[in-house]
A and B are shown apart, each in its own frame.
Chain A
């Protein structure tokens, strides 16, 4: 059984109410989703909390998911919306407290290329960063990323191309 067929079977079982099948889906997608959110949030604890929220939301609303479609873009779409909601509430809180705070958390312990890549990634605008992370980091097709981010396909392609160029320029590597 291929991964895709396995996933479809798990989704079917989860829609029928199987918590074990949904647990397996969590196991299958947790690494990519948490990595995606960590690069978006810049903070592992907040990212894992958002990832849990996203999975719980997916479990509660799996009845609305169309099993003919791919599960991954739907799940990452939930995570992207949760991230934007959370970011808005962070900004509101910051404004309320009138605090001048740097919302970007640093990865002091990460050395070398990883640190450079993380910093370069964090410097991209949020939508562009999300598109780059999905297409280059989580093996999404442009169509899947467009579905997840609720953006036009052309915009996603442009975000990925520009993001890739910026990363290459910042890291001093060749493009491609």
Chain B
């Protein structure tokens, strides 16, 4: 049996160049990547929502009992801290 003849016969029904097949492969790869990323995003979002739902009662209680009465003072403290940190950035440098 002549091997080139075997190869020719076995491969005869597949074109040597087939851009449609190449496109189909790349499209399938892209579809799969998109689905994987979508599933990851949905999974992470669901996890975040679940964690938030679990943590919310504790956070709400802590806020109400510990920080809420001091909200005004905390806000002034935050503004003062921000100003203290940011103002030096706008002052000219000294030699």
Contact = CB atoms under 8 A, between A and B. Distances in A.
A117 to B, nearest CB: 5
B92 to A, nearest CB: 46
B28 A56 contact: yes
B21 A164 contact: no
A114 B9 contact: yes
Interface in A9-28: 19, 22-23, 26-27
Contacts, number: 80
B22 interface: yes
Q: Is the interface of A mostly helix, strand, loop or mixed?
A: helix
B11 A164 contact: no
B89 to A, nearest CB: 39
Interface in B16-72: 16-19, 21-22, 24-26, 28-29, 32
B64 to A, nearest CB: 50
Nearest to A137: B10
A23 B26 contact: yes
B21 A48 contact: yes
Contacts of B88: none
B9 to A, nearest CB: 5
A113 B29 CA distance: 37
Nearest to B31: A56
B95 interface: no
Given A31-B11, A59-B25, A139-B7, 10 more contacts: A19-B29, A31-B14, A31-B15, A31-B16, A48-B21, A113-B9, A117-B9, A136-B3, A137-B10, A168-B1
